[in-house]
Amino acid sequence: MLWGQVEPAATAPDAASAAKATGEKATAEKAAGDLAPQVRKLVRELDAAEKSRRDAAEEQLLKLGPAALSLLPEGDQTSAEVELRLARIRNRLEQTQGEASVQASSITLAGEALSLADAIAGFEKQSGDKLIDFREQFNQQAAEKTLKLDLAKTPFWPALDQMLDQAGMTIYPYSGEAGLALVNRSSNEAPRYKRGSYSGAFRFEAMEITARRDLRSPQPPQLSLQMQVAWEPRLAPIVLLQPADAVLAIDDQGKPLTLSGPESEPEIPINPDASAVDLTVAFNAPERSATRIASLHGKLNAVLPGPITTFRFDKLGPSAKGQKRQGGATVVLEQVRRNNLVWEVRMRLVFDKAGRALESHRTWVLRNEAYLESPDKKTIRYAGLETTRQAENEVGVAYLFDVEGDLKDHTFVYKTPTAIIQVSLEYDLKDIPLP
């Protein structure tokens, strides 16, 4: 979908996801209620007369961790210093939350004769990651095997690889569904376990390597290494960035491989429905005496959405306008008007700092949940949407709703990340045969 096109209404989440979200919300609300008095007291201390007290309060709020994020007030009625400190606290806590989110889920699952369905259910319950048996869509025989697993606090990807190896399966990352699709492995494919490099919630694997010489050019021959980067499906990375200067490769002769574009930072765009992407790193080919890349170390930057916050605008009359701010995001309700047979709700999402997350070819933000809530609390999904503005730190969207009568007793609900977070991921691959 391109910017400016109309998109059909988003589908509602499935029952299992909704139930899980409800449970998580209840847990989060209880934790927030327990912390609320402490956070209010510390926020008041941010405006204390003595600098030492203000510094101590800020440090204590940081120690409370991301659970305090939703309890921090907005700075509309605070002093300039309190507003500055609150912004600093939010940034630190959002970054902490982002870094925690890319840590691996932990799997504990043991049994002598587990069915695949039971194993999948165990993974989903413990990780929050949806796994889909996708063999029927490939017309593959779904012969059931019993699995013998002994996983104790094992990170998600090593645990999943062991399960898939026993089941004779692998992942199919391009199913177009929300989750990780599992299919039968071809007879000539090697086992997955320890074939890749595990980095928190991400998995890196060398997939293909080719050598190429352009006979029309005096440039040295090129070596192209294609890797697959996969992530736990509970994550929704916006884009991956591979700084060339963060890649170090050594051949089996002990010599470093030189990069073809050492000053570049290739950007790996992500299809929102995919659970993996291909990453290509180009080298100048080593000497012919080299037979393998002995070691490859790299650092990848992942741009991720921060915590999701709900914004609500009620009494949507023709003159309805307003804006609300949470964390590093502001949602502006610009206009509510009749557009032929439908109602058009125009809004803007503005980030304090979006980085490269809102560049024009990225459409992740159009997947943010948006809907009307009727006076009897029923959800009305939008019939279509159209982008109205796109800039470095903001995007405008017009949502179209097929509603009879007026909207004065309706509420517009919009859910969005309140920050864009960048985290670094390190990976190590070894013993890669050269062509």
Q: pLDDT tens for residues 152-162? A: 999 999 999 99
| pLDDT band with cut points at 50, 70 and 90 for residue 3 | very low
Q: Which CATH architecture has domain 106-198?
A: 3-Layer(bab) Sandwich (3.55)
pLDDT digits (tens, 9 = 90+) for 114-146: 999 999 999 999 999 999 999 999 999 877 788
* CA angle in degrees (0–180, nearest 5) for 92-94-96: 70
Q: Do 317 and 343 touch, CB atoms closer than 8 A? A: no
For the packed helices 51-64 and 80-101, what is the interaxial angle rounded to 10 degrees? 20
**308-418 has the same fold as 202-305+422-433:** yes
Domain ranges of the chain: 15-101, 106-198, 202-305+422-433, 308-418
pLDDT digits (tens, 9 = 90+) for 366-397: 999 999 999 999 999 999 999 999 999 999 99
Q: What is the number of residues in the chain? A: 435
Q: Do 147 and 163 touch, CB atoms closer than 8 A? A: yes
CATH of 308-418, one of 3.90.220, 2.60.40, 3.30.530, 3.40.390: 2.60.40
pLDDT digits (tens, 9 = 90+) for 13-39: 344 444 444 455 555 554 456 899 999
Calculate the average pLDDT of the chain: 88
Q: What is the mean pLDDT of residues 99-107?
A: 92
202-305+422-433: CATH topology is Immunoglobulin-like (2.60.40)
- Residue that is written with structure tokens 């997350």 in the block: 357
Q: Do 268 and 223 touch, CB atoms closer than 8 A? A: no
CA atoms within 13 A on the CB side of 323: 12
Cross-strand partners of 239: 269, 303
pLDDT digits (tens, 9 = 90+) for 272-325: 888 999 999 999 999 989 999 999 999 999 999 988 889 999 989 888 899 998
At residue 240, the pLDDT reads 93
pLDDT at 364 over 50: yes
> How far does CA 100 lie from the centroid of its chain?
12
pLDDT digits (tens, 9 = 90+) for 339-360: 999 999 999 999 998 988 888 7
At residue 14, the pLDDT reads 46
